[in-house]
Structure 1
Amino acid sequence: MEHDVGKWENILVFEISKFMAIGVLVWTLPSSLLVLIVSFISVVIKGRKNRKRAVGFFHPYTNDGGGGERVLWCAVKAFQEESPDLDCVVYTGDHDASPQSLMGRAIDRFGVKLHYPPKVVHLYKRKWIEETTYPHFTMIGQSLGSVYLSWEALCKFTPLYYFDTSGYAFTYPLARMFGCKVICYTHYPTISLDMVSRVRDRSSMYNNDALIAQSTWLSRCKVIYYVFFSWIYGIVGSCADLAMVNSSWTQSHIGKLWKIPNRIKRVYPPCDTSGLQVLPLERPPKTPAIISVAQFRPEKAHTLQLEAFSVAIRKLDADLPRPKLQFVGSCRNKSDEERLQNLKDKAIELKVEGDVEFYKNLMYRDLVNFLGNAVAGIHSMIDEHFGISVVEYMAAGAIPIAHNSAGPKMDIVLEEDGQQTGFLAQNVEEYADAILEVIRMPELERLKMAAAARKRAGRFSEQRFYEDFKAAVRPILSHASK
């Protein structure tokens, strides 16, 4: 009995001390900061009271044209089917976006037919998440900027469910403060353990400048920065009520960083396998086409593809038809436009400009035509989290030549019924050899491999995405409705 009395006395003393400490802290705060804190709390309380029965999709770039945007529209459609009573609201920084234009974009660019147009909330602070805003410490800058952008979004419209489809994990604690259930679809972690390892090993890549890689002192500083960021990223990510991930590789990294294994569900992204699987496996006999479908971003490593294609052309047997390489992608901003122009200049430098074609921001139906004529599809991003374009190649009957890492290696380019489904490569020589092997392949052998690849691609269909997606969100929806 005396032990219990002592226990409660200690608790009482602790609580009194805590409130006294808070009182002292408030008393010593500058009046301007105190006003700011009070204003912040009042806005949050107002937002919590005015929450709407809706799901808000935080997707600032609704014109990026990549696999992430496809996931957005398929996720909107899945919610419309699973909970028709929920409004679907898209937070976008594209000021010309309207409900009708976004619905039209979903069908024109991705073949996704929404049941009704989503509502739109326009954001005007998107510059705070653009990489050009942060020449240095870009990762932390964009992450903190996303909190500011999310503040604008949630102040304008507070939904019951906050759904991040762009990987802005730093916004999750704020959404929780506004009383939202936080759901996310994570294509890749903002930082991965592989990134930390590469900086430690002083490997030069698109996210590790050569100047830093060559300096022991700068590399050590960057390792400290990455380790600290990983710790913070783990904390904010753990605020998700449900984290859907797109591959085995992403699941492994997110699980280690966020430490919420019971709230992580693997849901492979929606790939248009049904629309592409009706294409004939036979290809035009004259000029073999090799297609590369990817946004014109640095991590997609288009230059490697050009160099490998150049090597393959030089090694090509005289009696074989000369192939052509077709780049199909989208540009988000001026940097992407410049990158595209640099690729064109590189093709001239390598003396293959007559064999290389560039297509920007194609409509979906045009992309299907290109895929239907390609004998192979090339992909070269290191640690591509999944690789929707690789699945699209396989579904369309184009032999995939993908990077030997992450999603393509772990989930996609695997044997189907004991039959090889494509090629994996890591450097210019390996890519060049794979290109040559496809071109030299007898037609019967190519058809056999293409058929196996197409069968495997069926594992990543849109229908499978809808089924797995709905199964993942159903417990969250049913729990909130009680």
Structure 2
Amino acid sequence: MAVGLIILAVFTAILALILRPALRLINGRMSRKRAFGFFHPYTNDGGGGERVLWCAVRALQEESPDLDCVVYTGDHDATPESLIGRALDRFGVKLLFPPKVVHLYKRKWIEETTYPHFTMIGQSLGSVYLAWEALCKFTPSYYFDTSGYAFTYPLARMFGCRVIGYTHYPTISTDMLSRVRQRSSMYNNDALIAKSIWLSRGKIIYYTLFSWMYGIVGSCAHLAMVNSTWTKSHIEKLWGISDRIKRVYPPCDTSGLQALPLERPAENPVIISVAQFRPEKAHSLQLEAFSAAIKKLGSSMKKPKLQFVGSCRNKSDEERLQMLKEKAVELNVDKHVEFYKNLTYRDLVAHLGSAVAGIHSMIDEHFGISVVEYMAAGAIPIAHNSAGPKMDIVLDEDGEKTGFLACTIEEYADAILSIIRMPDEERLKMAAAARTRASKFSEQRFYQDFKAAVLPILFHLSK
């Protein structure tokens, strides 16, 4: 309990130090500009969050072309020209005009490596410091957080901004608390803590206090958009502002991918895995499942190929990618596994167009854009049986199965084998049903729902 109170005291003290000068600035020393300010410190992460950023920018450029779109980024080489090119090359999103850029130099304060312990509270307080730098450099009328830094919302409100957030996943959830109570070891619950009843109890107190603080700061949003049914249920419970929460499914390039033929090359069937090389994506499980499937195949069966396609945000991701390559050698499947880093969107589409299946293994994936992309491209999904894929995506379409859900290595291996052994007619039928299901998560649907959610804020029709 003492640790929790210390954390809370530090948080309160830092906010007090920051918000006192903010009040003076609002009272006349700093004027707000009629613009949208997008708080997205990593504009080169290549994930679904970055796609949401560029589609949100595009939607607001269409709706309010008279207002500037300003991107706060910690990538120092980012320029308006490079960002408009990146949006097109990596995601196929054509912006109407280049966004303005505000460079941030305090990004190290939100990096997880800065906080080996108490990472969540450290990054959260660090985001307040980073947002302080951002808002001092440029204060927009509308502060738009597209990265999930809810602790910045009170600060943005003190600067007089209308606060809009797009939450991809809650910083903390009841599922995380449950795992600590059950003493389950995972990427966000160290084995040392999981083995100790006292450390686990201490972490439960820490998580409980943090979730209370998270609820307070999150409730400061004028509008909170969430990306899935699972995320919506958690945010409603934590923030207590159900009237200001809107579910807006993330944009997926279903129209472009649906143009790909459903027929696939017969030789060496390809299974694709599209995800950033982050620990929660559980790439090792995919390798082990693939190895198990290979061992079960008869000598006369065609050997599949597993292709990992993803991006690396930092040195830790690079090291993780290297460890995966070494693990493939250790499992004796390296001849059947390929790795592709930081591909352009065009190259990604080419790989999706040749895959018979797409594999995904993150537990409690808030939504699962890659799963939708598999389905739209004609690759049958094998997704984790939890959260977004389970609740929103891999559902039957007109009574037809659209893919597989799995949890264990054995279940993933069995799903891989089922797809490889599936007759072409059966595979095409399932792939067609999956493609129809994927159309419900199109970019067009995102633009439609996004604008419907944001327009009341733009015209000050909401609270």
Alpha carbons 1:146, 1:170 under 8 Å: kept:
yes
CA deviation digits over 1:1-48, x for unaligned, max 9?
xxxxxxxxxxxxxxxxxxxxxxxxxxxxxxxx999886453234346x
Aligned to 2:12: none
The 3 A distance-change label for structure 1 pair 296 and 185 is same
* Match status 1:211 vs 2:197: no
Q: Could you tell me which residue of structure 1 aligns to residue 23 of structure 2?
A: 41
Structure 1: distance between partners of 2:301 and 2:230: 39
Deviations 1:405-429 (A, max 9, x none): 0000000000000000000000100
In structure 2, which of residues 130, 140, 165 is the aligned counterpart of residue 159 of structure 1? 140
Change (3 A) 1:38 1:278: closer
> 2: CA distance between counterparts of 1:249 and 1:101?
35
- What secondary structure, in the 3-state scheme, does the structure 1 residue paired with 2:41 have? coil
Closer, same or farther: CA 199–50 of 1 in aligned 2, 3 Å: same
- Tell me, what secondary structure is at the counterpart of 1:244? strand
Q: Is the 8 A contact 1:45 1:178 kept in 2?
A: no
Alignment: residue pair count: 449
Q: CA distance change for structure 1 residues 234 and 39 in 2, over 3 Å: closer, same or farther?
A: closer
Corresponding position of 2:357: 376
1:432 aligns with one of 413, 433, 442: 413
Query: What letter is aligned with 2:129?
Result: Y
CA distance in 1, matches of 2:387, 2:143: 28
1:53-64 to structure 2, matched below 5 A, reads 53-64=34-45
Using the TM superposition, give the Cα deviation of residue 371 of structure 1 relative to its aligned residue in structure 2, in angstroms: 0.1
Shift in Å at residue 479 of structure 1?
A: 1.3
- Aligned position for 1:318: 299
* Residue number in structure 1 paired with 2:215: 234
Q: Distance in 2 between matches of 1:239 and 1:36?
A: 17
- 1:355 equivalent to 2:340? Answer no
2: CA distance between counterparts of 1:40 and 1:248? 36
Matching of residues 10-409 of structure 1 within 5 Å: 39-46=21-28, 49-409=30-390
Which residue identity does 2:145 align to in structure 1?
D
Q: Residues of 2 paired with 1:64 and 1:58: CA distance?
A: 14
Deviation per residue, 1:448-480 (Å, 9 max, x gap): 000000000000000000000000001011117
Structure 2 counterpart of 1:55, which letter? F
Residue deviations 1:334-362 (CA, integer Å, cap 9, x gap): 00000000000100110001000000000
Question: Is the CA contact (8 Å cut-off) linking 2:19 and 2:155 kept in structure 1?
Answer: no
User: CA 1:216/1:83 → structure 2, altered by over 3 Å: closer, same or farther?
Assistant: same
Helix, strand or coil for the counterpart of 1:182? strand
State the Cα RMSD in Å.
1.6
Q: In the superposition, relative to structure 1, how do residues 35 and 439 fare at CA in structure 2: closer, same or farther (>3 Å)?
A: closer
> In the alignment, is the contact (CA less than 8 A) between 1:271 and 1:391 conserved in 2?
yes
Question: Structure 2: which amino acid aligns with 1:109?
Answer: R
The reply on whether 1:464 has 2:445 as its aligned counterpart is: yes
Distance across 2 between alignment mates of 1:37 and 1:376: 51
Question: Aligned pair in 2 of structure 1 residues 158, 219: CA closer, same or farther (>3 Å)?
Answer: same
* Ranges in structure 2 where 5+ consecutive residues have no aligned partner: 1-14
Quickly say closer, same or farther: Cα 1:415–1:408, change in 2 above 3 A.
Answer: same
CA distance in structure 2 between the aligned counterparts of 1:470 and 1:38, rounded to whole angstroms: 34
| Deviation of 1:481 (Å) | 11
Q: Given residue 95 of structure 1, which amino acid in structure 2 is its aligned partner?
A: H
Displacement, 1:363? 0.3
Identity of aligned residues (%): 80
- Residues 33-83 of structure 1, C-alpha deviations (whole Å, 9 max, x = no match): 999886453234346x51000010000000000000000000000000111
For residue 43 of structure 1, what is the amino acid of its counterpart? L
Give the Cα separation in 2 of the matches to 1:320 and 1:111.
37
1:411 aligns with 2:371: no
For the residue of structure 1 that corresponds to 2:459, the secondary structure is: helix
- Where 1:326 maps in the other structure, the secondary structure is strand
Contact map agreement 2:22 2:158 (CA 8 A) in 1: no
CA–CA separation in structure 2 for the residues paired with 1:193 and 1:172: 22
Deviations 1:89-147 (A, max 9, x none): 00000000000100000000000000000000000000000001001000000000000
Which deviates further from its counterpart, 471-480 or 59-68? 471-480
The SS at the match of 1:351 is coil
Partner of 1:27 in structure 2? none
Larger Rg: 1
Q: Contact 2:390–2:405 at 8 Å: present in 1 too?
A: yes
Instruction: Judge conservation of contact 2:23–2:158 (CA < 8 Å) in 1.
Output: no
TM-score by length of structure 2 reads 0.95
Task: Quote the offset at 1:319 in angstroms.
Answer: 2.0
Match of 2:457 in 1: 476
- 1:320 CA displacement: 1.4
Tell me how far 1:324 sits from its aligned partner.
0.6
The 2-side partners of 1:474 and 1:38 are apart by 32
Q: How far off its partner does 1:317 sit?
A: 2.2
Provide the C-alpha distance between the structure 1 equivalents of 2:16 and 2:268, rounded to a whole number of angstroms: 70
